[in-house]
Amino acid sequence: MELCKVKEVVAKMTLEEKASLCSGLDFWHTKGVERLQIPSVMVSDGPHGLRKQEEDADHLGLNKSIKAVCFPAGCAMAASFSREAAARLGEILGEECQAEDISTILGPAMNIKRSPLCGRNFEYYSEDPLLATEIGTAYVNAVQSKNVGTSPKHFMANNQEYHRMTNSSDMDERTAREIYLAAFEGMVKNAKPWTIMNSYNQLNGTYLCENKEMLTDVLREDWGFDGYVMTDWGAMNCRVEALKAGCNLEMPGGNCMTDKQIVKAVKEGELEEKILDQSCEEFLNIVFKYVENHQKDVLFDRDKDHEAARALEEECIVLLKNEEDILPLCKEKKVAFIGKYAAAPRYQGGGSSHINSAKVDSALEAVKAWADVVYAKGYDDDKDVINETMLQEAVAAAASAEVAVLFVGLPDSFESEGYDRKHLRMPDCQNRLIEEVAKVQPNTVVVLHNGAPVEMPWIAKVKAVVEAYLGGQAVGSAVANILYGNVNPSGRLPETFPLRLQDTPCYITYGGEKDRVAYSEGVFVGYRYYESKEMPVLFPFGYGLSYTIFTYKNLTVEKERFKESENIKVTVDVTNSGNRTGKEVVQLYVGKKDGEIIRPIRELRAFDKIELKPGETKTVEFVLNSRAFAYWEMEIHNWFVESGSYEIQIGKSASEIVLSKEVWVEGEHIIPKLYPKIPNNFIHW
């Protein structure tokens, strides 16, 4: 419906009807107005599968939802470093939503991984805002190409589960713009999400639901967002203030109390009716867009989507270690699969994203098609206790084989929506199992099923490590395909694996005190911190191995000196010098040399994933604009490019730069007025 028609509809509504549109009908539906043919539509979780609840509803994944397909979680999807994979997932979810008449899927979950302790990191993409925003853009564009809305969440700075409904994330403007907002920015500008979900927390002491700077000044005015903002479930504070700030819809609904507050505020002159009108227009615009374009008769083919879930996970799995090329396994070798997760993988996390999976593949079942493996359970994951009998059976199975593959990871009780982790350890019983198996079997491979980094005290004692993340319901067969070389691994870590929790940038402040969390590490999040400190890590951001070898040559930059307003072409040749087809993630970082401003030593500014046959060379091209060189200058409240030299670096990870070139960039803006130097207030918004 055209906007002028939407305005006409709103003009016909009574004050009470307009106020009623500002909250949901029930847990999953928005309200309609029958006399004006305004329909009620359904929204549903998200983000990596449908959690459509037809009966008892909840936002914790407790009650039943329809049988659906669980795709790789956000942690895994980001590891694909593949816009195509994210788009494929989006298209499928869009079709599933059409089939189930869901107007909006509640996702993707875009928050930055400030600390590996966040219980919900498994749903989030990355510690790097460019990677998060690019994967999010592809997903949102693809879902919406099916005329179904998305609700990227949780806007913004929702980086811990501890006190998530009350805490305040306290940070300066530069940190917000360069890290926490940047994770959303490209996605909002390039994919135009139909809706946005605001987070539970506060930013610098103001709840996000009533944060005008965020919901109106940044989201709508700076970035051009023109959809509607809904609260996270139960994230409303003051209804009238929220409406003024730009929050359109309170979810879940079912309680008309806050609608009455709106009516009263308008009648008493506390709220201008035109603010309410505008909010209804923004909301109805999206509702009609869905209803008018809804494609019926679409089939939700769970079997077909299961196959797609496998193909997606195969793009995501990261090979972390592969000494003596122990992988891929040869089908004739005598192999023991050890660990509960070989037979019953952990493939998704707990909470609102929990899918009632139509089926689940196990690696143990999948390999039967081509290999004969022995199996020992080794441990249970409901409690962290060592079961000596299971342990000894596992050790015996490992000793009798030529290779032992251990399937381990984090149990549900170690990470979930709703609470944070206390440490980065895997269960003691699993660590002990790995140690004991490695003692009797020199050819030990570890497969990890986890949503966030873990410490690996046994790393030197095993030959290979495969990070499967929470890979969705087809993870078992995807892992089997990687282990036996049916598929060449091509995932890369979207986050740093630190050596120990104490090394993490916000170790001291994470969780906060008295409901205030000081983001005092500023922009030094993830690899921006570790690389700047030249600190050893277990595995760096962007890292991952392949069964083939890629070599880099001929880094060219169109010009050595250029102005910030010019778009600059950078090319690099990548060759597959091994003997298998494989995919490489080419990463471009930029670092400022000798600047006046304290900045990370390097920041990811572009990436691409390419496939190469043995012997093949491709030239990868990137185009950099001023944002690749800019930082957020708080004196002018804008992006700013310092004149001077910068290094353009091509890396296999944030720690391994293989080629670099120095360039000189001329900044074209000046800081108009330098304020007298006063001590910088920590909260500078």
Q: Please report, as ranges, the residues that interact with ligand BGC according to CB under 6 A.
A: 45-46, 59, 106, 153, 232-233, 352
Closer to ligand BGC by CB, 52 or 239: give it. Answer: 52
Closer to ligand BGC by CB, 146 or 354: give it. Answer: 354
Sign of the alpha-carbon torsion through 95, 58, 65, 23? negative
Give which of 189, 118, 108 is closest to 155, Cα–Cα.
108
Which residues neighbour 231 within 8 Å (Cβ) at sequence distance 6 or greater?
Answer: 197, 198, 209, 242, 247, 249, 250, 251
* φ, ψ (nearest 5 deg) of residue 677: -70, 105
Give which of 668, 669, 653 is closest to 602, Cα–Cα.
653
CB 254 to ligand BGC: min, Å: 14
The total of other beta-carbon atoms located within 10 Å of residue 234's CB is: 11
CA-to-CA distance for 246 and 211, rounded, in angstroms? 8
Sign of the alpha-carbon torsion through 246, 248, 252, 254? positive
Coil vs helix vs strand at 589: strand
Please give the structure tokens belonging to residue 89: 């997932």
Which residues neighbour 135 within 8 Å (Cβ) at sequence distance 6 or greater?
Answer: 77, 78, 80, 83, 86, 108, 125, 126
CB 14 to ligand BGC: min, Å: 30
CA-to-CA distance for 292 and 378, rounded, in angstroms? 55
* φ, ψ (nearest 5 deg) of residue 487: -130, 140
Identify the bridge partners of residue 588 per DSSP, sorted by sequence position: 606, 650
Would you say 57 and 28 are in contact if contact means Cβ atoms under 8 Å apart? Answer: yes
- Helix/strand/coil percent split, the chain, to 5: 30, 20, 45
Which residues neighbour 428 within 8 Å (Cβ) at sequence distance 6 or greater?
Answer: 384, 386
Closer to ligand BGC by CB, 252 or 526: give it. Answer: 252
CA-to-CA distance for 584 and 492, rounded, in angstroms? 9
CA torsion angle for 5, 260, 279, 100 (degrees, to 10)?
-80
CA angle 668, 674, 680 (to 5 degrees): 120
Cis ω before 494 (30° cut-off from 0)? no
User: Which amino acid would we find at residue 479?
Assistant: V
CB 532 to ligand BGC: min, Å: 32
Identify the bridge partners of residue 170 per DSSP, sorted by sequence position: 518
User: Which amino acid would we find at residue 658?
Assistant: V
Closer to ligand BGC by CB, 219 or 447: give it. Answer: 219
CB 633 to ligand BGC: min, Å: 33
Burial of 483 (0-12, 13-18, 19+ CB in 10 A): buried
Active site residue ranges = 232
The bridge status of strand 356-357 relative to strand 444-449 is unpaired
The DSSP letter of residue 266 is H
CA 619 → CA 414, 586, 609, 616, distances in Å? 44, 11, 12, 10
CB 454 to ligand BGC: min, Å: 24
